[in-house]
Amino acid sequence: MKYIIACLFLFSLSLTGISQTPTALKQIKGGTLAPLYGLDSGKVWVDDFQLDEFAVTNQQYLDFVEKYPEWQKSKVKSIFADGNYLVDWQGDLQLGKGMNSNSPITNVSWFAAKAYCACQDKRLPSVDEWELAAKASESNPNAEYDSLFNQRIIESYETPNTYAKTVGSTYKNFWGVSDMHGLVWEWTSDFNSVLISGESRQDGDADRNLFCAGAAITASNLRDYAAFMRYAFRGSIKADYNIRNLGFRCAKSK
């Protein structure tokens, strides 16, 4: 409890003295989702939840590591992050030369992202939650069958150095959430659950169950190539990985 209370001050001041406002949460209406991987038939139900409007920025993460030095570049434990953690930063409390403070934070591990969200009294979204929110276009809450929408997503995946863009620089979707596609890949709480059994995915077991090897599940639907790319990426990473085009945003149960 004390940990959460202390975190309420996380964004009070940036290192430059400019007030930092916490990212607004947007309400996502629950619904059904047909996962690319997982159950052999049918759909899964996703409850109502809230999702950050923007991905966490460099400045917001800088404020976090200033408050919680155990997550600073030189102090983070190797079991929680590999050698690429914050690799572009010049120091524990200094962004790299030319880095945009309002670009999404990248080169952070799943453990670091999870800790950040917990500090906000939030959590990482699940794969199903993320996919439900991400299938919304500007005007349609479910654009997964829109070929132009999917083509735009694929083109964004092929565009280099999008992680350097400012958050909010791409489209805002039906739910008011920005940059679900076009800036960075994003961590989810159960990012590689595509590699474990359907039963394990639903059993709410300890986090360690998500990070062991397992046989890949047969794809239920390959029509959405953009979604297939996301699932393939998630299945190829580990919790301690830190990747230049992988960031995160936080979620909250309703």
Residues 135, 17: Cα–Cα separation, whole Å: 38
Share of the chain above pLDDT 90, in %: 65
What's CA 97's distance to the chain center, in Å?
25
User: Which pLDDT belongs to residue 228?
Assistant: 83
Here the CATH number for the domain that contains residue 127 is 3.90.1580
Phi then psi for residue 202, to 5 deg, are: -100, -5
The torsion defined by the Cα of 175, 186, 229 and 189, in degrees rounded to 10, comes to: -90
Across the chain, the runs of DSSP E, i.e. the strands, are 25-28, 31-33, 44-46, 49-52, 185-186, 246-247, 251-253
User: Which pLDDT belongs to residue 37?
Assistant: 59
Closest by Cα among 180, 175, 171 to 140: 175
pLDDT digits over 157-192, tens only?
989 999 999 999 999 999 999 999 999 999 999 998
Name the residue range of residue 45's domain. Answer: 2-253
Q: Please compute the mean of the pLDDT values over residues 84-112 and round it to a whole number.
A: 98
Higher-confidence residue of 225 and 4: namely 225
**Looking at 16-20, 127-131, 151-155, 248-252, which range is the least confident one?**
16-20
User: Which pLDDT belongs to residue 218?
Assistant: 38
Q: Please compute the mean of the pLDDT values over residues 185-210 and round it to a whole number.
A: 60
Closest by Cα among 59, 71, 70 to 95: 59
pLDDT digits over 129-166, tens only?
999 999 999 999 999 888 889 889 989 998 999 999 99
What's CA 132's distance to the chain center, in Å?
13
pLDDT digits over 76-97, tens only?
999 999 999 999 999 999 999 9
Count how many domains the chain has. Answer: 1
Burial 52-86 (b: 16+ CB within 10 A, else e): bbbbbbbbbbbbbbbebeebbbeebeeebbbebbb
Tokens describing residue 181: 């596609």
Phi then psi for residue 14, to 5 deg, are: -85, 175
For residue 38, what pLDDT band results from cuts at 50, 70 and 90?
Answer: low
What's CA 93's distance to the chain center, in Å?
23
User: Which pLDDT belongs to residue 193?
Assistant: 79
The answer, yes or no, to whether residue 217 has pLDDT greater than 90, is no
**Looking at 10-19, 116-125, 190-199, which range is the least confident one?**
10-19
Q: Please compute the mean of the pLDDT values over residues 9-34 and round it to a whole number.
A: 64
